[in-house]
Structure 1
Amino acid sequence: MAVHGPAHDGPLTDKLTNHHQQSTRGEPRVALVTCTELSDLDPDDRLVLAPLAARGIAAEAVVWDDRAVDWSAYDLVVLRSPWDYALRRDEFVAWAQTVPALANPADVVRWNTDKRYLGELAAAGVPTVPTSWVAPGETWTLPADRAEYVIKPAVSAGSQDTGRYDLADPEHRKLAVAHVRRLSDAGRLTMLQPYLTAVDTVGETALLFLAGPDGLAFSHAIRKGPMLTGPDLGVEGLYKPEEITARTATPEQLAVAEKTLAVVPGGPDRLLYARVDLIPGPDGSPVLVELELTEPSLFIGYADGAPDRLAEAIATHLHPSA
């Protein structure tokens, strides 16, 4: 199923320029952007290297904040695992704006690395988990309904600085207040969301989309089990490792994903990849919890042919149709 959007002359012109450079240099070069801690890439991302090589595309892992890198030497720069950006988001966004031929584009990176985009999606009619916001220094009152909530910063990667709180528990209420205060004191915007209990049974569904000749197209889906076990105490390692299995996407999930992607600034056809994360809401219908357009795990090891489809997506961006 393809997702279609408006055409954009600017990125196409950039791609055609890259194609001309390739013709004068020979084998196209692709940078797969990562961080120092994963200088050899995440194992899942390494699965694309052989399919790229089979297409005559030279790919290499490059650390995003390595000042010695000449990004203009690459025909395409693909964001993959720069997962240390969360506490340096402004620096990361500024870096993205300097990189030629970046996928996904720098303006999408700016928009997608601040989860306030959820408000825009909700306003556009996308079924989105209800979210309230607490600005640094703002007075905040605990919800009165004594339900379970998730508290996390608006800029984060993975489940860092994220906690689950049962507000019927007096100790959890104290820890929730401390969590918000900790984020506020660090100058970070806090988000508060009701905990969707279906994640404990049904799990979270991630729908993966990759670029194709006719635009962004659905590739595969996976199930993620619950990760949050309780409050965030300001230290690492208090959530479960991801439990990933393959999953078949339903027509209803695909419809929500398509509606979500249609709202992306500039349209979805500029994207190399997208991940749409859904959890059943109280009535069982899929609700968006996150739209990952910057550095999502793509889980290509969990679907037959997915590494090849990612390689083909990269080739599509290297060799756009006229």
Structure 2
Amino acid sequence: MTNHHQPTRGEPRVALVTCAALPDLEDDDRLVVAPLAARGVTAVPVVWDDPAVDWAGYDLAVLRSPWDYMPRRDEFVAWAAAVPTLANPAEVIAWNTDKRYLDELSAAGVPTVPTAWVTPGEEWELPGEHGEYVLKPSVSAGSQDTGRYDLADPEHRDLAREHVRRLGAAGRVTMVQPYLSAVDTAGESALLFLAGPGGLAFSHAIRKGAMLTGPDLGVDGLYKPEAITARTATAEQLAVAEKTLAAVPGGPDRLLYARVDLIPGADGSPVLVELELTEPSLFLGYADGAPERLAEAILTHLTSRI
């Protein structure tokens, strides 16, 4: 049983924040436990909405897999604000858990996937009768409530309208993006950054294959299994990622980690799909030394708090 009480001073304790469905964390997240122990830090999984937890009893709380917060975002943001030593910081979580942050990044000059927003009660005009589009809520994770629609197909047009109506009826904002076909060949690149003595630094990158295959019908089988491999980031991808991180409110130096997801745009140049600062998979098992680098990043944050 996890001890939620005040740690013995001299031996830092870190809460690896998860959800009730993953009380022992994902396999990838557990990779950091042994490297932390080797550095004199005890790390334990803790469920974010467990009312018995004394968060002040931890030297640092690191968000890892609290993936059930989406229907309760306001509650989650309020919880984050009440945790005294949270990484990433609560203000970043409030900003990053609604994907309308993409507008701010675009305004700051970051190349992003063109995105339109449909608010609850707003009448939605189809962007045309041709082309493929992705619809999903502005507060989401993974591919939940996400669909891919070919507007040349009358059935897909009807399903797209219904998707927007369904999200709006639930009080959710819909984001509408063109489907970037390069993901079917080049895949999506995720660039991982971890804190170090000099601030946030690039750690490693992975490639994710295309997953989304059709409309959101609320049933299984619409997504391909996630295919992940190691990838070498290009200079152009790194430049876009660094420009993205520089535009984060409050600056990137206070972040413990960041994941920048990129897809080639129409001209082949990388464009931002998402900036993951809340609870991203870090794919530690896909790069030599990545668990140790995360342990060092956590140690850097612990040291800065002493």
Fold match by TM threshold 0.5: yes
Counterpart pick for 1:213 among 194, 197, 200 = 197
Query: For 2:254 and 2:146, how far apart are their aligned partners in 1?
Result: 31
| Pairing of 1:202-281 with structure 2 (within 5 A) | 202-281=186-265
Query: For 1:56 and 1:189, how far apart are their aligned partners in 2?
Result: 45
Q: In the TM superposition, what is the alpha-carbon distance from 1:155 to its structure 2 partner? A: 0.1
Structure 1 SS opposite 2:299: helix
Query: For 1:128 and 1:291, how far apart are their aligned partners in 2?
Result: 10
The residue aligned with 1:43 is 27
Query: For 1:152 and 1:144, how far apart are their aligned partners in 2?
Result: 18
Counterpart pick for 1:97 among 73, 78, 81 = 81
The residue aligned with 1:11 is none
Count of residue pairs brought into register by the alignment: 301
Q: Is the 8 A contact 1:78 1:102 kept in 2?
A: yes
In the superposition, the TM-score normalised over structure 2's length comes to 0.96
The residue aligned with 1:308 is 292
Runs of 4 or more above 4 Å deviation: none
User: Would you say 1:162 and 2:146 are equivalent positions?
Assistant: yes
Q: In the TM superposition, what is the alpha-carbon distance from 1:25 to its structure 2 partner? A: 1.1
Query: For 2:221 and 2:43, how far apart are their aligned partners in 1?
Result: 32
Counterpart pick for 1:151 among 135, 159, 163 = 135
Q: In the TM superposition, what is the alpha-carbon distance from 1:234 to its structure 2 partner? A: 2.5
The residue aligned with 2:171 is 187
Query: For 1:242 and 1:178, how far apart are their aligned partners in 2?
Result: 27
Counterpart pick for 1:136 among 104, 120, 141 = 120
Q: Is the 8 A contact 1:162 1:232 kept in 2?
A: yes
Q: Indicate the RMSD between aligned Cα atoms, in angstroms.
A: 1.3
Q: In the TM superposition, what is the alpha-carbon distance from 1:204 to its structure 2 partner? A: 0.2
Counterpart pick for 2:92 among 96, 108, 118 = 108
Query: For 1:235 and 1:57, how far apart are their aligned partners in 2?
Result: 43
In the superposition, the TM-score normalised over structure 1's length comes to 0.92
Q: In the TM superposition, what is the alpha-carbon distance from 1:237 to its structure 2 partner? A: 5.0
Q: In the TM superposition, what is the alpha-carbon distance from 1:321 to its structure 2 partner? A: 8.9
Q: In the TM superposition, what is the alpha-carbon distance from 1:103 to its structure 2 partner? A: 0.1
User: What's the CA shift string for 1:144-177, capped at 9, x where partnerless?
Assistant: 1510000000000111000000000111111101
The residue aligned with 1:18 is none
Structure 1 SS opposite 2:233: coil
Q: Is the 8 A contact 1:160 1:236 kept in 2?
A: no
Counterpart pick for 1:201 among 169, 178, 185 = 185
Structure 2 residues not aligned, in runs of 5+: 1-5
Q: Which has the higher contact order (CA 8 A, sep 6+)?
A: 1
Q: In the TM superposition, what is the alpha-carbon distance from 1:241 to its structure 2 partner? A: 2.2
User: What's the CA shift string for 1:236-260, capped at 9, x where partnerless?
Assistant: 5531221100000000000000000
Q: Give the share of equivalent positions with the same residue, in percent.
A: 80
Structure 1 residues not aligned, in runs of 5+: 1-20
Q: In the TM superposition, what is the alpha-carbon distance from 1:54 to its structure 2 partner? A: 0.1
